[in-house]
Amino acid sequence: PEKDPKDIAAAAHAAQSGYPACALCLQTEGYAGRTDFAARTNHRIIRFLLGGKTWGFQYSPYAYFNEHAIFLDAIHEPMVIDQSTFSNLLSIVSMFPTYFVGSNADLPIVGGSMLTHEHYQGGRHTFPMAKAPIETQVEISGHPHVFAGIVKWPMSVIRLVSADSDELINAAEHVRQVWNQYTDETVDVRAFVDGKPHHTVTPIARRVGSEFQLDLVLRDNQTSAEHPDGIFHPHQDVQHIKKENIGLIEVMGRAILPARLKSELAEVQKYLLGEANTMKPMHQAWADQLKAKYDWTPANAEIQMQAAVGRVFARVLEDAGVFKRDEVGQKAFARFCREL
């Protein structure tokens, strides 16, 4: 389902009522459901200890990738990114060494679709971001045994690597704390506006041989008059394809797109082929660009349409990146890294 980022933000602050409090609560196990809450009659959750607390393990009903798992706090409490997050993620990949695991950010606009219940997602899948190389090495002060670098990726990612999980956790917390206080007006990066915090990270952990990796994706949830939905959020010209928050899975390179596109893109394709269609006006400008740039035939239309959507998604990730991939953005990224 396509969720409006404003609705997600409002839900994070709404008073909880009813039972269960949300779809991630342990109380959903075996729940018969009601008109506004899907049944979980045959749903079961495995309990396990994480950081000295009871957590639940289940597989996602969405199955966005192989063995798509959800690790959820037994207590219904909001998402928080702090040092314990990094510790928990590395503990999980120690228990499940063939899985990656990550957390959505804990702020509206840059977080996932569920901010009200602490949880992580993982599974047996290698995303494109995990395959992306480090292009510039970074030194993390006080952590000489942690290898760090900027990942070659549309979003702004610092990868930390070490065989020592404790040192890696401390290095990650150092990066998070520096980022949470960092401002660079030249590229619209501001940690606080009128006392309101805007910075957090989207962390992803994995095992690679005997080493642990932590990718920290830098996030900033400011809005502006020009970009009321978010300065580092899909901009208006790509929202006909993707307007939702760019969460954990999208960050790593997999587009989670709204179901409406299945029928809408079929009409766009008809338009591009010169056939009768009911294409929605919001796709008009994009479709005209595609029509002018490429030759469209029944034989190539579907594959060209898929490629075109992929290019839009790449732009979406670029919009969400706080330090852009151009010269100005990369110099700004280097300035931030010198603060580490």
- What's the pLDDT tens digit per position in 112-152? 778 899 999 999 999 999 999 999 999 999 999 999 999 99
Q: Same domain for 131 and 55? A: yes
Q: Same domain for 149 and 16? A: yes
Which long-range contacts link 59-64 to residues 24+ away (Cβ below 8 Å)? Answer: 60/121, 64/249, 64/254, 64/256
Q: Same domain for 34 and 129? A: yes
Q: Same domain for 45 and 136? A: yes
Give the pLDDT confidence of 166-204 residue by residue, as tens digits.
Answer: 999 999 999 999 999 999 999 999 999 999 999 999 999
User: Is the pLDDT assigned to residue 18 strictly greater than 90?
Assistant: no
Cα gap 266→107, rounded to integer Å: 35
Largest CA distance in the chain: 65
Residue 36 is predicted with a pLDDT of 85
**pLDDT band per the 50, 70, 90 thresholds, residue 324:** very high
* Pick from 165, 168, 88, 76: nearest CA to 120: 88
Q: Same domain for 246 and 271? A: yes
Q: What's the whole-number average pLDDT of the chain?
A: 94
Apex CA 60: angle with CA 253 and CA 311, to 5°?
A: 20
Residue 62 is predicted with a pLDDT of 87
3-state secondary structure (DSSP) of residue 287: helix
Residue 60 is predicted with a pLDDT of 92
Can you name the residues that pair with 55 across neighbouring β-strands?
48, 73
3-state secondary structure (DSSP) of residue 267: helix
Q: Same domain for 136 and 72? A: yes
**pLDDT band per the 50, 70, 90 thresholds, residue 64:** very high
**pLDDT band per the 50, 70, 90 thresholds, residue 13:** low
Q: Same domain for 10 and 80? A: yes
Question: Would you say 89 and 120 are in contact if contact means Cβ atoms under 8 Å apart?
Answer: yes
Q: Same domain for 63 and 198? A: yes
Report how far apart the first and last C-alpha atoms of the chain are (Å, whole number). 39
> What single-letter amino acid sits at 110?
V
Structure tokens at 39: 């049944």
3-state secondary structure (DSSP) of residue 37: strand
Which domain, by its residues, includes 252? 235-320
Q: Same domain for 97 and 167? A: yes
* Pick from 35, 103, 104: nearest CA to 244: 104
Q: Same domain for 38 and 129? A: yes
Number of domains, the chain = 2
Structure tokens at 314: 């790449």
Q: Same domain for 224 and 280? A: no
Q: Same domain for 179 and 99? A: yes
| Extended strands (E) in 25-139 | 46-50, 53-59, 69-73, 100-102, 119-123, 134-138
Query: How many H helices and E strands in the chain?
Result: 9, 12
